[in-house]
Every structure is written in structure tokens, then in C-alpha cells.
Homo-oligomer: A and B are copies of this chain.
Amino acid sequence: MSSQFGHVFRISTWGESHGGGVGVVIDGCPPLLELSEADIQKDLDRRRPGQSEIVTPRAEDDQCRILSGVFEGRTTGTPICVVVMNKDARPEAYREMEGAYRPSHADYTYQAKYGIRNWQGGGRASARETIGRVAAAAVAKKVLGRFFPGLEVVAYVKSIHGLVAEVDPATVRFEDVEANIVRCPDAGKAVEMIEFIKAVRSEGDSVGGVVEAVLRGVPAGLGEPVFDKLEAELAGAMLSWPATKGFEIGSGFVGTFYRGVEHNDAFVMREGAGGTKSNR
């Protein structure tokens, strides 16, 4: 509980936006995986604010350091501590926050829960906390690549406000997502999204959207049968990101507009694998 996620591969994030630094301890990572700071830095750079004109302009020039759990370029099976030091602690920049609670932020909630908060910024509720998650995910990708080489995850911006991308989940590729700064694989809609975001920003306003993810090559039987079902774990994980408000899997809410006969998930017999029945 608290700042931890996972059981066997368990991550503990720590750190506030203003303070010594932020990071993560990853416990349960298998040994003998090749891992370098560059592997993690690559994903931290993707996460970094200030990369383009449509995201928060706050500049973060974060360099990660692996303090433990890696020896001569390979994981050792012991806890991996990844640290990103905070460079730019300018308490005075947010001094007016000490006595003010920003609406739609966690300021009041932290104050009510703990009776204290690091008011120099978002503190623990800052999006900087996600640095630890992104670093851990970079390591998790190494683990998945080793034990589930056929598993593929492609996530992308599906919609911004009323602008909904047309994406074929069966064919969308990671490269299409990376092709533009809004990370929407529908190139035409991406242009519209970028223009829209710029316009909204120019009015001092903000706007949100929907992220969609496609998982391919998921092994049958993944997840626990009752409480920790695959969809339950995913829902909990997704709603733990800051400012998320909904989660759907499969047909989602739209599925309630179908009857059972329309909505049935029929089996398809495939050749191969000994002729076993398999899911679509």
C-alpha cells in the first residue's frame, strides 16, 4: 500500500517536486538483465515536460542515476534504486502557495490528511512523482521483453476534447505514435489536436483527452482469478495516475448498448499449437 505498486516486481516511488530528489526502488527484478542508465533515461526524456510547445513549459533537465542493483551492466536480483536529483529548488517561486489551496489540486487534501505539506509545489502530488514510475516501467519493459518476447503494448492519444482520432488497434505501431508531439497516430487529427491545444493554451486554459492502449500477445490466463483480475489491476493502475477519471476495457461502457447475442466473445479455432482452441 501507500507508495508501492506490485507484488513480485514491486516498485516504491519516493520524492516531492521540491526537495532533494525523486526516484524509485525496484524490488524483485530478475537478475542477469542488461540494464543501463541510458535505457531508463530514454523513457525519462519522453516523459519530460518542456519538450514541445503544447506541454507545460516547466523545464526539467533530469538525469537519472542507478545507485544499486546493477553490476557491470546487468541486474543482480537485488533492489534497484534509481535517483533523479532535483536541480531547481526555488522555494520563493511558489511562496504564495503556503496559505493557498489551488482548486483541482491535491493541496487541500494533503493538508487535511497529514496536517502538513510541501507547499513549494505540488509536493508528492506533483507529476514529478511519475519519474519514478517511468523509470520502473523502463525496467519492467526489459523484464517483459525477456520473458514474454511476443508481448507488445502500444498506447497513444485517442482524443483531445472533441477531436477523436481514427486508429485501427489491429495495425497501429509505436513509430506512428512517436511521429508527432501529441503522440496521436492519426497524422491528420494530430495536426488539429496540436493547433487546438495551442489555441487553448494561448487563452490560459487547458484541455484533456483519452489515452488508448493496445496489448498484443498477452498470454492466456494472465491475472488472478478473483480480486486481482487483469482488468481490475489495470483499472487500479490507470486510475492511480494523476488526474485520471475513467477506465474502460474491451467494449467498455458502449457494451451496455449491445444484447448478449451481439456482444458474445466467440471462440475461433486456429491451426497450430496442437490445434488447441484459442481466443481471438
Q: Which of A's residues lie within 8 Å of B, judged by CB? A: 1-5, 7, 10, 12-16, 19-23, 25, 27-28, 31-32, 65-71, 74-81, 83, 85, 101, 103-104, 106, 108-110, 112-118, 123-125, 129, 159-162, 200, 205-210, 220-221, 224-229, 231-240, 244-253, 255-257, 259-261, 263-267, 277, 279
CA–CA, A111 and B1, complex, Å = 30
Majority secondary structure, A binding face: mixed
Contact A68 B20 (CB under 8 A): yes
- A71 nearest in chain B by CB position: B118
* A117, closest chain B residue (CB): B76
Q: A78-B14, A220-B108, A220-B112 are in contact. Are A247 and B235 (CB under 8 A)?
A: yes
Partner of A226, one of B19, B101, B240, B256: B240
Q: Which residues of B contact A10 (CB under 8 A)?
A: 2, 4
Q: List chain B residues, Cβ under 8 A from A257.
A: 161-162
Q: Cβ of A25: which chain B residues have Cβ within 8 Å of it?
A: 3, 12, 14, 25
Q: Which of B19, B226, B232, B264 contacts A124 (CB 8 A)?
A: B226
Further contacts, 20 of them, CB under 8 A, given A207-B260, A232-B240: A1-B227, A2-B27, A3-B25, A3-B79, A3-B226, A13-B226, A14-B68, A14-B69, A15-B79, A23-B67, A101-B277, A103-B264, A112-B221, A113-B220, A226-B240, A233-B236, A235-B238, A245-B248, A247-B248, A248-B253
- Residues of B with C-beta under 8 A to A125: 225
Tell me which residues across on chain B come within 8 A of A263, comparing CB atoms. Answer: 104
The distance from the CB of A150 to the nearest CB of chain B, in whole angstroms, is 15
